Chains A and B, each alone.
Chain A
Amino acid sequence: MMRTWHSARRLLPLIAVFGTVLAGCGREDLSVLRPQGPAAESSLGLMKLAISIMIVVLLIVFSIAAYVLIRFRRKPGQNEIPEQIEGSFKLEVLWTVIPLILVIVLAVPTVRTVFALGDNHSGDKNAIKVKVTGHQYWWEFEYPDYGIKTAQDLIIPAGKNIAFELTTNDVLHSFWVPSLSGKIDTNPTGATNRFSFSAPKEGVYRGKCAELCGPSHGFMEFKVKAVSNDEFKQWIEAQKAPAVLPEDPALAQTFKEQCLKCHAVGDQGLSVGPNLTGIGSRESVAGILLNDDTRQDGAPVEENLKSWLHDTQGVKPGNLMPDPKQDMGLTDDEIDRIADYLAGYKLN
């Protein structure tokens, strides 16, 4: 045992290096290992504790295993029968008690954190309330205190606690922003879930759906955009402003008749589908076509809107939006002009 401890101690710097490499793993806006908020930090804290304990256990097991496998290998000509040992009460007690202690070391902070994270801030006056509703394959975010709804981009003021209330409109989904917090399922109403997190730093964080929900489950992404308090207020006001419709009255008519029977912009339309108010200033179209033409995997927003409107099933297989051309009878030209209009529909 002494010797194993010694080699374990010598390996500590290695573990430290390993740890830092781990911490540098993945994108800042996406990786569990690079937390950007207190909830994700407390999960990572536990993960670090657990993995340190587990690495120690592994080192012990591996070194004993390696030692036994090398030391007690049968050599040619070796034919004697080893002594048949029944067991050792002392040793067996030892490896019952040590794991028990390790388990307690992990269990205590686990229980503490479970209760700390169970705090959902729903009664907190300073918290921003957001109702999250999962739909096959998009996210709806409602701000009941402000009477507005948006989709795909969740805008929050940096540093404030956000009190979430989560449900689903159809099958189960799971709301997950790895760099800000662990995930929580969206169950149908009646089993509504509540939780909260905050993002101290301004920035855009990637969110995902983590519960199999159909063909495009993997594409059910969203963005969390943490902005300053002022920007948040401005955004709320802009979101409440009356709808801006296409300038060409004919196009506006088509848009109203065909698109607004599911979608809403400003004060018009329905919200069966994602709310489109200010879609020109969103981070992405459909959650996955990134509106960032400075990057290789992004494209200008009007291009993304066109990709989407010309081939909704190709972009997100199995999604429930009717095809603009086939099902709504729009011409290619109308589709392109609607895309241009939407791309220009920016807030501020």
Chain B
Amino acid sequence: MDWITTVDHKKIAILYLWAGGLFFGIGGIEALLIRWQLIKPMNDFLDAQTFNELITMHGTTMIFLGVMPVIFALMNAVIPLQIGARDVAFPFLNALGFWTFLFGGLLLNLSWVMGGAPDAGWTSYTPLSTSAYSGTHGVDFYTIGLQIAGLGTLIGGINFLATIITMRAPGMSYMRMPMFAWATFITSAIILFAFPAITVGLVLLTFDRILGANFFEPGAGGSPVLWQHIFWIFGHPEVYILILPAFGIISEVIPTFARKRLFGYSSMVFATILIAFLGFMVWAHHMFTTGLGPVANALFAVSTMLIAVPTGIKIFNWLFTMWGGSVRFTTPNLFASGFIPTFTMGGVTGVMLASAPADFQFHDTYFVVAHFHYVIVGGLVMGLFAGLHYWWPKMFGRMLSETLGKWTFWTFITGFHLTFFVQHFLGLMGMQRRVFTYLPNQHFDTLNLVSTIGAGLMGVGTLIFLANIVITSRNPMDADDDPWEDGRTLEWSIPSPPPEYNFKQTPLVRGLDALWKEKTAGNKGMTPAEPVGSIHMPSATPLPFIMSVGIFIAGFGFMFSRDNFSSGFVSFLFNNYIVTGLGLLITFGAMLMRSLYDDHGWHIEPEELEGR
């Protein structure tokens, strides 16, 4: 119950983490099934339809439901602490964002047991994704599930923007903000601009499928290429929504374990902003083979290559942060150091893909599969592993086992390179992506076998990580405030896990790496910026949960509004939008309650604070 009504950012972080873990597990199992099917030519382990559902759900789940919530988990756990705030700007909305995300994700995954998962690829290109060619409700689960989950992401993004703009501790100017906070800030801004595009796209596709509209129907004047533009205007920035937080994490972990401040802080900030900006200008590099013509292809090719410049700045700055430092190889730093070369490999293939005439060959082959997994898994997932091991003691008050952590790292990174490095060659040798099997004697067999073995090894790495969590969760909560000893930012100045109110007294920030600055000045902790006083806290409430349940029911009702059920009564309920209406009623009812009932929250008094 406590977990359903909580509005505390630290608990919401944990909710995001478990939900993300759940979906990540589902997506991972889907990946392993895909790889098992491809272990040898003409394998009949899976049939073609199931395979297409698996790749669609694997991609969709991983991008929207697997890594996004883990990113949001870390942001929620860390951002208020790093900027010296007691909570996020809108705790109620924060909870709402989580629950809409979770119910959207659940709706999408219900498709597995309700008559067919989406099967048109995570990009859902029309006309394949229209009801004419995808007859099950699969793609409806995709459009409506993602719409609901996307609502949560947008809410979360706006919340972080407001939090970072308004709630920084005294003295923390923008140019004293930790890099992870910067990354979160920019990521949230990208969310704010990119998500409306997919929202519109999903609404249009829903209308085409459920209400018989013709936005993408070529026979009726619609355009399938329009969907591609809408999708990628969102889809490309989405990639940066994923990778920038990883950049942020790496920029926190490396300085801590090198005992050195981040090299070229201001150029890092500048590079982050530039990457975000360029990220919006390059969407059509996913469409070189669509036939946009040489002028468009040339422009998008060159603008895409330009992203290499700020990215290069980042990589060299990280390397030079370690240069001259005193580098300690804890598990988080192993992942961070593994990140740099691995991500660089994903980056260089990105530049190769940007060369449009070469992309005519790369596009939609295993070369592309290799490239984006190098970026997403080799970059983002490694970054997330680094961040999780790094902040685990802060979130849960317990250290993870370093021995198991190192095992996780070595099995994961070995498995990763085995899986995906060879896929570059598969693509170049003529293997297109999204194929449920392949004919023998095309020189594809050995490399596919290697790739599947690697995937198994990555699975083992992930299992070791889970074992680590389970085993260490029995330990007492005895992590230090600053368990890595060289913490530089504000979150390490308070207990692990932090009390509900985070900071008894808001700290005064006197420079970049606020805590490090105090430590080197010989102080024991932060200087407070205010006297001990009464702390205002928001009340717990089930309303966000109830609102999300309502949206879930409404979406469900809408999806089946054209169906005939065996029971006439059930058909009546769905066909007359009664179920949809009921769901909306629940949501709007809860909103009304929220508006009418003035909840002023509660206070923690100074006596209580001292009592601890």
Q: CB of B133 within 8 A of chain A?
A: yes
Residues of A within 8 A of B315 (CB): 61
Instruction: Give the total number of A-B pairs whose CB atoms are below 8 A apart.
Output: 290
| B432 cross-chain contacts in A, Cβ below 8 A | 176, 208-210, 218
Q: A114 touching B301 by the CB < 8 A rule?
A: yes
User: Counting CB contacts under 8 A, is B352 at the interface?
Assistant: yes
The listed residue (B263, B298, B323, B324) touching A114 by CB distance below 8 A is: B298
Segment among B21-29, B141-149, B325-333, B492-500 that sits at the interface with chain A: B325-333
Enumerate A36-84 residues with CB–CB distance to B below 8 Å: 40, 42-44, 46-47, 50-51, 53-54, 57-58, 61-62, 64-65, 68-69, 72-74, 78, 80-84
Chain A residues contacting B267 (CB-CB under 8 Å) are 87, 92
Contact between chains at B290 and A185 (CB < 8 Å): yes
Say if the beta carbon of A107 comes within 8 Å of chain B: yes
Q: Taking the complex as formed, is B601 at the interface, i.e. its CB lies under 8 A from any CB of chain A?
A: no
Report chain A residues within 8 Å CB of B443.
25-27, 31
Q: Are B428 and A99 in contact (CB under 8 A)?
A: no
**Cβ contact within 8 Å between B223 and A191:** yes
Known contacts: A46-B357, A172-B127. The answer to whether A72 contacts B324 by CB under 8 A is: yes
Inter-chain contact A32/B428, CB cutoff 8 Å: yes
CB of B457, distance to nearest CB on chain A (Å): 22
> Measured between alpha carbons, how far is A171 from B264 in the docked complex, in Å?
50
Query: Given the interface contacts A47-B358, A92-B317, A210-B365, does A73 sit within 8 Å of B329 by beta carbon?
Result: yes
A65 to B319, CA, bound (A): 6
Contact string against B for A residues 301-337, beta-carbon threshold 8 Å, 1 for contact and 0 otherwise: 0000000000000000110000000000000000000
Among B275-325, those with CB < 8 Å from A are 289-291, 293-294, 297-298, 301-302, 305-306, 308-309, 312-313, 315-317, 319-320, 322-325
Q: Bound state CA distance, A172 and B316, in angstroms?
A: 42
- Cβ of A12 under 8 Å from chain B: no
Q: Check A82 against B326 for contact (C-beta < 8 Å).
A: yes
The answer to whether A182 touches B52 (Cβ under 8 A) is no
Give the residue of A26, A27, A87, A106 whose beta carbon is less than 8 angstroms from that of B266: A87
Q: Which stretch (B174-182, B200-208, B340-348, B376-384) binds chain A?
A: B340-348
- The reply to whether B120 and A212 form a contact with Cβ atoms under 8 Å apart is yes
Interface size on A, residues (CB 8 A): 94
B354-373: contact bitstring with A at CB < 8 Å (1 yes, 0 no)? 11111111011100000000
Give min CB distance, A232 to chain B, whole Å: 25
How distant is the Cα of A87 from the Cα of B266 in the complex, in angstroms?
9
A25 interface neighbour in B260, B319, B425, Cβ under 8 Å:
B425
Which of B128, B313, B322 is A212 in contact with, Cβ under 8 Å?
A: B128
- Please determine whether B128 and A171 come into contact, CB atoms closer than 8 angstroms: yes
Give A106 to B355 CA distance when docked, in angstroms: 8
Q: Check: B442 CB closer than 8 A to any chain A CB.
A: yes
Cα(A222)–Cα(B291), bound, Å: 21
* Contact-residue size bin, chain B (C-beta under 8 Å from the other chain): 35 or more
A212 in contact with B293 given A85-B263, A100-B309, A103-B308 (CB within 8 Å): no
In the complex, the answer to whether A107 meets B302 with C-beta atoms within 8 Å is yes
B328's partner among A74, A193, A208 (CB-CB below 8 A) is A74
What chain A residues lie within 8 Å of B359 (beta carbons)? Answer: 182
Whether B436 is near chain A, meaning CB under 8 Å from some CB there, is: yes
What residue in chain A is nearest B437 (Cβ atoms)? Answer: A218
A30, A181, A212: the one within 8 Å of B121 (CB): A212
In contact, A212 and B434 (Cβ under 8 angstroms): yes
Interface residues of A in 173-226 (CB under 8 A from B): 174, 176, 178-179, 181-185, 187-191, 193, 206, 208-218, 221
Q: Which residues of A from 105 to 126 have beta carbons under 8 Å from B?
A: 106-107, 110-111, 113-115, 117-118
Taking a contact as CB atoms under 8 Å apart, the answer to whether A191 and B49 are in contact is: no
Asked if A115 meets B363 with Cβ closer than 8 Å, knowing A187-B225, A218-B435, the reply is: no
Q: Could you say which residues of chain A place their CB within 8 Å of the CB of B322?
A: 68-69, 72
Tell whether B567 is near chain A: CB-to-CB under 8 Å. Answer: no
Residues of chain A with a CB closer than 8 A to B302's CB? 107, 110-111
**Cβ contacts under 8 Å, A92 to chain B:** 264, 267, 313, 316-317
Report chain B residues within 8 Å CB of A145: none
Q: Does A257 contact B (CB under 8 A)?
A: no
B606 an interface residue at 8 Å Cβ cutoff? no
Residues of A within 8 A of B348 (CB): 54, 57-58
Map CB proximity to A onto B432-452 as digits: 1 under 8 Å, 0 otherwise: 111111111111000000000
Could you tell me if B361 and A43 are in contact, using CB atoms closer than 8 angstroms? yes
Between A31, A92, A178, A193, the greatest number of chain B beta carbons within 10 A of the residue's beta carbon is seen for A92
- Residues in B neighbouring A130, C-beta threshold 8 A: none
* Residues A95 and B326 in contact, CB atoms below 8 Å apart: no
Residues in A with CB closer than 8 Å to B259 are 74, 81-82
Give min CB distance, A72 to chain B, whole Å.
5
Judge whether B125 is part of the interface by a CB distance below 8 angstroms. Answer: yes
Cβ–Cβ < 8 Å partners of A2 in chain B: none
A174 close to B340 (CB less than 8 A): no
- CB atoms of A91 and B320 under 8 A apart: yes
Docked Cα-Cα span, A158 to B171, in Å, equals 74
Q: A115-B298, A171-B128, A212-B128 are contacts. A86–B261 as well, Cβ < 8 Å?
A: yes
For A86, give its contact among B265, B352, B355, B363 (CB under 8 Å).
B265
**Interface presence of B224 (CB below 8 A):** yes
Q: How far is the CA of A184 from the CA of B438 in the complex (A)?
A: 21
Across the interface, do B127 and A114 meet the contact criterion of CB distance under 8 Å? Answer: no
Task: Give B514 Cβ to nearest chain A Cβ, in Å.
Answer: 14
Whether B65 sits at the interface, judged by CB under 8 Å, is no
- Asked whether any CB of chain A lies closer than 8 Å to the CB of B351, the reply is yes
Q: Of residues A22, A172, A218, A288, which shows the largest number of chain B Cβ atoms within 10 Å of its Cβ?
A: A218
Q: Which 5 A-B pairs have the closest CB atoms?
A: A182-B360, A218-B435, A26-B429, A118-B294, A215-B48
A selection of 16 A-B contacts at a CB cut-off of 8 Å is A30-B442, A42-B357, A47-B361, A74-B259, A74-B328, A87-B263, A87-B267, A95-B312, A106-B351, A110-B298, A118-B294, A191-B218, A210-B433, A216-B48, A297-B439, A317-B47
Apart from A74-B326, A182-B289, what 14 extra A-B contacts exist at CB < 8 Å? A46-B358, A50-B355, A51-B352, A80-B326, A86-B264, A87-B266, A92-B316, A210-B363, A210-B365, A212-B434, A214-B52, A217-B436, A218-B434, A218-B437
**Chain A contacts to B: CB under 8 angstroms:** 22, 25-27, 30-33, 40, 42-44, 46-47, 50-51, 53-54, 57-58, 61-62, 64-65, 68-69, 72-74, 78, 80-88, 91-92, 95-96, 98-100, 102-103, 106-107, 110-111, 113-115, 117-118, 170-172, 174, 176, 178-179, 181-185, 187-191, 193, 206, 208-218, 221, 288, 295-297, 317-318
